[in-house]
Amino acid sequence: MANVRARIELMVGQKSNIPAEMLSFEGLETEKEHVAVIFNQADKHQSTPLVRMHSECLTGDVFHSSRCDCGEQLEETINRMSESGGIILYLRQEGRGIGLYNKLDAYELQSQGMNTYEANNHLGFGDDLRDFKEAAQMLEALNISKIKLVTNNPKKIKDIQNYGIDIDEVVNTHAHVKQGNEHYLHSKAAHGHKLNFDK
């Protein structure tokens, strides 16, 4: 059973001017250092908070890589939650679960013409190795069983429901198209992600 280990206040966002709280946990099976970032004390004041399960992406979140849209999705969510409140579950599942070094190997294959899924498959991995059981445990530790889920990914919807979390609404992020990630985004759309390229 997961429990909250510590809760601290901090400022987040690209300009670091948005107040939030960061929570650490204990009792997670993998012992990965997942954290929750909570805006406007949504876990205490909202019965159905806005939640995003965001998997760590060093290249996108930190270095703003042109290869993906992860950093843009994270920043969009932070800005949305700064107004409405909400919870980001930041999960240490780099590269859809294959790890950073393998993701960089996949990038090299993508440079040779493969899409993101083909590259992972060529390296011997499935399309998406992430598991959201511990995300559900983190929500349970916060006494949250019903959420509005921020995602474009049908796997996240299915998985978190299978772990007993009720989804009241699915809120899509924008399609953050930029030079270098068009093929990546269209590959995700072909795998069922709900992306509106007209926005």
Has 1 been labeled as part of a binding site? no
pLDDT of residue 176: 65
Average pLDDT by stretches of 10, the chain with 199 residues:
93 90 95 96 96 95 86 92 96 94 93 89 93 96 97 92 96 72 62 61
| The model scores a pTM over 0.85 | yes
pLDDT of residue 170: 95
For residues 133 and 97, is the Cβ–Cβ distance under 8 A?
Answer: no
Has 94 been labeled as part of a binding site? yes
The rounded distance, in Å, linking the Cα atoms of 102 and 171 is 30
Has 70 been labeled as part of a binding site? yes
Domains of the chain, first to last: 3-93+130-190 (3.40.50.10990)
- What DSSP line would sit under 81-112, residue for residue? HHHH-EEEEEE--GGGGT-HHHHHHHHHHHHT
pLDDT of residue 192: 60
State the catalytic residues: 128, 130
pLDDT of residue 164: 96
- What DSSP line would sit under 172-188, residue for residue? PPP----TT-HHHHHHH
pLDDT of residue 68: 81
Beta-bridged to residue 53, according to DSSP, are 89
CA distances from 37 to 18, 71, 73, 88, 155 (A): 11, 15, 15, 5, 22
Has 55 been labeled as part of a binding site? yes
pLDDT of residue 142: 97
